[in-house]
Structure 1
Amino acid sequence: MRAEGSGALPVVAAPMAGGPSTPELVAAVTEAGAYGYLAAGYITAEKLAAQMAELRERTAGRFGVNLFLPPTRSRTGREQRRRDTAVDAYGRQLAPEAEALGAELGNPRPDVEPDAGDALDAKIAVLAQDPPDAISVTFALPDAARLAALRATGAALVATVTNVDEARAATDAGFDGLCVQGAEAGGHRGTHDEADIPNDTDTLDLLAAIRRATTLPMIAAGGIADTAAARRALEAGAVAVQLGTALLRCPEAGTSATHREALADPSFSGTTVTRAYTGRPARALTTRFAVEHGPAAPAAYPEVHHLTRPMRAAAAAAGDTSRLHLWAGTHFRKAAAIPVADVVRGLV
Structure 2
Amino acid sequence: MTTLRELLNIEIPLIQAPMAGVQGAALAVAVCNAGALGSLPCAMLTPETMRQELLRLTAQTPRPYNVNFFCHAPPEPDAQREAAWRETLAPYYREFGIDPAGIPAGPGRAPFSAAAAEVLEAFRPPVVSFHFGLPDDALLARVRSWGAKVLASATTVEEGRWLARRGVDAVIAQGVEAGGHRGMFLTDDLSTQVGTLPLVRQLVKALDRPVIAAGGIADAQGVAAAMVLGAAGVQVGTAYLLCPEATTSEIHRRALRSEAARHTALTNVFTGRPARGIVNRVMRELGPICPTAPAFPLATGAIAPLRAKAESLGSGDFTPLWAGQDASGCREVGAAELTRELARGCA
Say yes or no: TM over 0.5. Answer: yes
2:173 alignment partner, SS class: strand
- Paired amino acid for 1:325: P
Q: CA deviation at 1:253?
A: 0.2
> Could you tell me which residue of structure 2 aligns to residue 214 of structure 1?
207
User: Contact (CA 8 Å) 1:161, 1:167: kept in 2 or not?
Assistant: yes
> Could you tell me which residue of structure 2 aligns to residue 34 of structure 1?
36
User: Contact (CA 8 Å) 1:198, 1:281: kept in 2 or not?
Assistant: no
1:98-124 deviation line (CA, Å, top 9, x unaligned): 4545656653336xx7514xx822111
User: Contact (CA 8 Å) 1:246, 1:334: kept in 2 or not?
Assistant: yes
> Could you tell me which residue of structure 2 aligns to residue 108 of structure 1?
105
Equivalent of 1:335 in 321, 330, 339: 330
Q: CA deviation at 1:261?
A: 0.6
Give aligned-pair identity as a percent: 35
Q: RMSD over aligned Cα, in angstroms?
A: 2.3
- Is 1:86 paired with 2:81? yes
- Paired amino acid for 2:290: A
Spell out the pairing of 1:113-128 with structure 2 (5 A cutoff).
115-116=110-111, 120-128=113-121
Residue 314 and residue 15 in structure 1: after superposition, are their counterparts in 2 closer, same or farther (change >3 A)? farther
For 1:180 and 1:62, locate their aligned partners in 2 and report how far apart those are by CA, in whole Å: 21
Equivalent of 1:62 in 47, 61, 64: 64
> Could you tell me which residue of structure 2 aligns to residue 296 of structure 1?
290
Residue 52 and residue 3 in structure 1: after superposition, are their counterparts in 2 closer, same or farther (change >3 A)? farther
Spell out the pairing of 1:3-82 with structure 2 (5 A cutoff).
3-4=4-5, 5-18=8-21, 20-71=22-73
For 2:129 and 2:15, locate their aligned partners in 1 and report how far apart those are by CA, in whole Å: 12
Residue 252 and residue 6 in structure 1: after superposition, are their counterparts in 2 closer, same or farther (change >3 A)? farther
For 1:47 and 1:325, locate their aligned partners in 2 and report how far apart those are by CA, in whole Å: 22
1:137-181 deviation line (CA, Å, top 9, x unaligned): 101222222222222222001111101111111111111111110
Residue 316 and residue 7 in structure 1: after superposition, are their counterparts in 2 closer, same or farther (change >3 A)? farther
For 1:2 and 1:156, locate their aligned partners in 2 and report how far apart those are by CA, in whole Å: 13
For 1:268 and 1:42, locate their aligned partners in 2 and report how far apart those are by CA, in whole Å: 25
Q: CA deviation at 1:324?
A: 1.1
Residue 154 and residue 314 in structure 1: after superposition, are their counterparts in 2 closer, same or farther (change >3 A)? farther
- Paired amino acid for 1:241: V
User: Contact (CA 8 Å) 2:85, 2:294: kept in 1 or not?
Assistant: no
For 2:138 and 2:215, locate their aligned partners in 1 and report how far apart those are by CA, in whole Å: 31
Residue 101 and residue 245 in structure 1: after superposition, are their counterparts in 2 closer, same or farther (change >3 A)? farther
For 2:273 and 2:294, locate their aligned partners in 1 and report how far apart those are by CA, in whole Å: 6
Q: CA deviation at 1:2?
A: 6.4
For 1:195 and 1:307, locate their aligned partners in 2 and report how far apart those are by CA, in whole Å: 23
> Could you tell me which residue of structure 2 aligns to residue 142 of structure 1?
135
> Could you tell me which residue of structure 1 aligns to residue 238 of structure 2?
245
For 1:102 and 1:336, locate their aligned partners in 2 and report how far apart those are by CA, in whole Å: 38
Equivalent of 1:257 in 250, 263, 266: 250
Residue 98 and residue 38 in structure 1: after superposition, are their counterparts in 2 closer, same or farther (change >3 A)? farther
For 2:173 and 2:19, locate their aligned partners in 1 and report how far apart those are by CA, in whole Å: 16
> Could you tell me which residue of structure 1 aligns to residue 198 of structure 2?
205
Q: CA deviation at 1:299?
A: 5.8
For 1:3 and 1:312, locate their aligned partners in 2 and report how far apart those are by CA, in whole Å: 40
Q: How many residues align?
A: 336
Q: Which runs of 5+ in 1 are unaligned?
A: none
For 1:251 and 1:218, locate their aligned partners in 2 and report how far apart those are by CA, in whole Å: 30
User: Contact (CA 8 Å) 2:262, 2:326: kept in 1 or not?
Assistant: no
| TM-score under structure 1 length normalisation | 0.89
For 1:207 and 1:268, locate their aligned partners in 2 and report how far apart those are by CA, in whole Å: 25
For 2:246 and 2:128, locate their aligned partners in 1 and report how far apart those are by CA, in whole Å: 21
Q: CA deviation at 1:328?
A: 0.8
User: Contact (CA 8 Å) 1:6, 1:34: kept in 2 or not?
Assistant: no
Residue 218 and residue 267 in structure 1: after superposition, are their counterparts in 2 closer, same or farther (change >3 A)? closer
1:157 alignment partner, SS class: strand
1:31-52 deviation line (CA, Å, top 9, x unaligned): 1121111000111111111100
